[in-house]
Chain A
């Protein structure tokens, strides 16, 4: 079973720590690049799915001179929104409500102020203000490190297992000239020497902060394409953990929205985790790769650390993860860059980091207090 929608265009800017441009400028660069890649006129973009607290459809309409916007929405699931947005794009094009749906992410995440300075996007801000911020607990690293420690307590986890995730991402980024850390590899020695941010998370457990933008265009699979193989959206699932507005009172801190999301996606797709040739995992922190590989059924509970440390997630391994370097080493574009990498792999545009014969690729999303999403994409051969 598959949807009838493909990712027809992808585009991105460079990923740096100081773009020197506004978020709108970055967004427009990525959008124009995606339209060129799709071989469509910019004017033909008629649907926009925006990120909350970022550039709005109105600004894109005005800024690019789009005459015919007919569909728009926002998905409020933090970093899971990019993957969850794919379902809305599918719905729009399959129903005929729109023909060319744009999904965009743009942020000066490095130069525009560090994470604790940005307004928080999480749900239930009053709980954060009343019960959390007064105690100096106010960043993702501080929150999620507590989940990591519970996992450590229940299953065991070593520094080297976490480090293996960071090193794998870095190794992949060295094959990706567009990656923010291209040319600056992180070895296990580097990883182990990183200073503590919020124990157990150290510097190289944490994802990058990035200035940059990326964009994709989704259309129906029976529309003209400039290429012989396109990445098709097979299925999408979204989900929330118990107590999704409050991590602290969740009965089991290890339960995440990716579990129900993955169940839905696998069921809709008619394939399972073992069928994937690669997976792009929302790697906000090293441990979250281990956590999500288990939650989505790629490895058994408790086996994630060993799997990562054994080389299973490396190019050439059983299940290459984040062949672009991910949030840890490529750039933080809120998970949309992970969709783009999946598309590149399926098109055969992976260059030095191509997974040979990639026909099925998964993409996870993680956001806010554990919301999740999973998309399955496949390679669709165009009839000449």
Chain B
């Protein structure tokens, strides 16, 4: 049994995954009222328009919270590893789950993070995070 991968052909998510394959973090915006929404949903919760567009955003965020997984529950993913909930810097109502490549002892709430696009295979590139200090 191997690790679970997203279905990149799911129409509601396909633009996200073609974005990550191109090294871009894309989110859904309402084409009528400009409100960002995440995860992708068919209708804008604010103005209820069905018109949406995908836009690339600055791939940086802050660590909102995290857990250190020490008991294995996913095939092909031996612990320990850190799963973080990252708040997107330019769009703070949006948060993404991803693995954080940092020692558990170095983690603090609001730690600045930068996206690292990790290609798994020719179709799937996942969005993980590293401390921004490391990147600069």
Contacts and interface: CB of A to CB of B under 8 A. Distances in A.
A146 B39 contact: no
Contacts, number: 102
B99 A136 contact: yes
A126 B3 CA distance: 16
A136 B39 contact: no
Contacts of A116: 73-74
Given A153-B109, A199-B104, A248-B85, A136 B69 contact: yes
A129 interface: yes
Contacts of A22: none
Nearest to B37: A249
A135 B71 contact: no
What is the interface residue range for chain B against chain A?
A: 35 or more
A131 B64 CA distance: 16
B83 interface: yes
A134 B71 CA distance: 16
Contacts of B99: 135-136
Contacts of B81: 136
A17 to B, nearest CB: 17
Contacts of A153: 65, 109
Interface in B65-90: 65-71, 73-74, 77, 81, 83, 85
A134 B126 contact: yes
A127 B10 CA distance: 11
A136 B74 contact: yes
Contacts of B83: 135-137, 142
Contacts of A142: 67, 69, 73, 83
Contacts of B104: 199
Interface stretch (A45-53, A158-166, A190-198): A190-198
Contact of B39 (A196, A197, A198, A246): A246
B97 A135 contact: yes
A146 B66 contact: yes
A181 B82 CA distance: 32
B130 interface: no
B12 interface: yes
B111 interface: no
Interface of B: 3-7, 10, 12-13, 16, 38-39, 64-71, 73-74, 77, 81, 83, 85, 93-99, 104, 109, 124, 126, 128
15 contacts: A126-B12, A129-B7, A130-B7, A131-B97, A134-B3, A134-B6, A135-B98, A135-B99, A135-B126, A136-B83, A142-B69, A196-B71, A198-B67, A199-B68, A248-B96
